[in-house]
Structure 1
Amino acid sequence: MEFREQQAIYLQIAEYACEQILLKSWPPGTKILSIRDLAVLMEVNPNTVQRAYDFLQQREIIVNKRGVGYFAAEGATERVVAFRKEQFIETELPVFFRNMYLLNMSVEDIKGRYDQFINQNFKETQS
């Protein structure tokens, strides 16, 4: 996996896990990749994955069933959405708003682009 320099690797691995939950690849209640297997997949030290899993356990997104492995927690999807929204609002949105201001872009400009993006990329999920 190609990691970004601006963010700790364990947080990027935690983001990957959250994305797997949101994409329903790791539905709540199902066993997820072991620390070793995810370390091999991500080409990182198992200690880095352990740190990511600890981070996710603290947020009750995954649970460790001793002797069995790690599982996506019941309610993980809702917790991931809440966590990612909070993260987006605190870190990405201020940068986005600053760029809108500096580039003299209106909310209407953004709304049109957003609608176009949704139509092109998520047609199958719209009802």
Structure 2
Amino acid sequence: MGQDFNTNQPIYLQIVQRLCRQIIRGELGAGDKLPSVRELAVQMGVNPNTVQRVYSELEKLEVAETRRGLGTFITEKESRLQQLRDELMTEQINSFVTDMKEMGFTASEIVEGVRKALENA
């Protein structure tokens, strides 16, 4: 049941981003157990080594922790999850603003465009 992946970015990073987005949306909550390495590998259609790298990266980001003999779990540190949410929001906004400025839009045009989009959302 593999997933579609972008060829411009390593697969493990794409999976890390997908899991982080699930966390921010509340699909995965603090203390939730993540699937086993093999289980997630099958779900994603990737090699188990890729998933192991995903889990290692999540640990480096302090978003997940591995409990020996039990599996990998989302951190229970709500402050870290809020920080992750803030980081991802800032990253998305900065990327959007950079793209808009590169296209020649002014700050006021960007703000007005966002305001209109929010009204229609």
Scaled by the length of structure 1, the TM-score of the pair is: 0.77
- Cα deviation, residue 112, structure 1: 2.0
Distance in 2 (alpha carbons) for counterparts of 1:59 and 1:86: 16
* Pairs aligned (count): 117
Distance in 2 (alpha carbons) for counterparts of 1:33 and 1:7: 23
- 1:100 partner letter: K
Aligned partner of 1:6 in structure 2 is: 8
- 1:55 partner letter: E
Scaled by the length of structure 2, the TM-score of the pair is: 0.80
Q: Which of the residues 72, 75, 81 maps onto 2:74?
A: 72
Query: Does residue 84 of the first structure (1) align with residue 88 of the second (2)?
Result: yes
Spell out the pairing of 1:1-127 with structure 2 (5 A cutoff). 1-75=3-77, 76-84=80-88, 87-88=91-92, 92=95, 96-97=97-98, 99-101=100-102, 103-121=103-121
Q: Deviations over 1:27-56 (max 9, x none)?
A: 011112221221111111111011011011
Flag the 1:105–1:39 CA change in 2: closer, same or farther, 3 A.
Answer: same
User: Structure 1 stretches of 5 or more lacking a match?
Assistant: 122-127
> Does structure 1 conserve the Cα–Cα contact (< 8 Å) formed by 2:100 and 2:110?
no
Flag the 1:87–1:35 CA change in 2: closer, same or farther, 3 A.
Answer: farther
